[in-house]
Amino acid sequence: QKEVEQNSGPLSVPEGAIASLNCTYSDRGSQSFFWYRQYSGKSPELIMFIYSNGDKEDGRFTAQLNKASQYVSLLIRDSQPSDSATYLCAVYNQGGKLIFGQGTELSVKP
């Protein structure tokens, strides 16, 4: 089992819709969870982090964490073509390393 798993996509949504990105992790002791956005040919950019169970909202983005189910998600409301990118879920393991999922490619169609 991979430490961090994401659906690779591509996930295609129409402009204005809600995009839902999912991530599961295997280390029950993980405390910190991150979502990075990466445009093609660019470096990862942090968009959300979450440490506690529940929801965290920042503008059009909502991160959801369920530690019991070992599940993290990212919702993007009112999706825009500029949101088209690869979204990387990342989780610290007990060894102190930030482990990335394979990334979900999101395509927002005008």
Partner 1 sequence: DTEVTQTPKHLVMGMTNKKSLKCEQHMGHRAMYWYKQKAKKPPELMFVYSYEKLSINESVPSRFSPECPNSSLLNLHLHALQPEDSALYLCASSQVLSLAKNIQYFGAGTRLSVL
Nearer to partner 1, 15 or 39 (CB): 39
Copy the structure tokens of residue 68: 């019991």
Please state whether beta strands 11-14 and 54-58 pair in parallel, antiparallel, or not at all (unpaired): unpaired
| Residue 110: cis peptide before it, omega within 30 degrees of 0 | no
Q: Which is nearer to partner 1, 28 or 110 (CB)?
A: 28
Q: Does 92 bind partner 1 (CB under 8 A)?
A: yes
Q: Which of 12, 66, 80, 94 binds partner 1 (CB under 8 A)?
A: 94
Q: Is residue 98 involved in binding partner 1 (CB under 8 A)?
A: yes
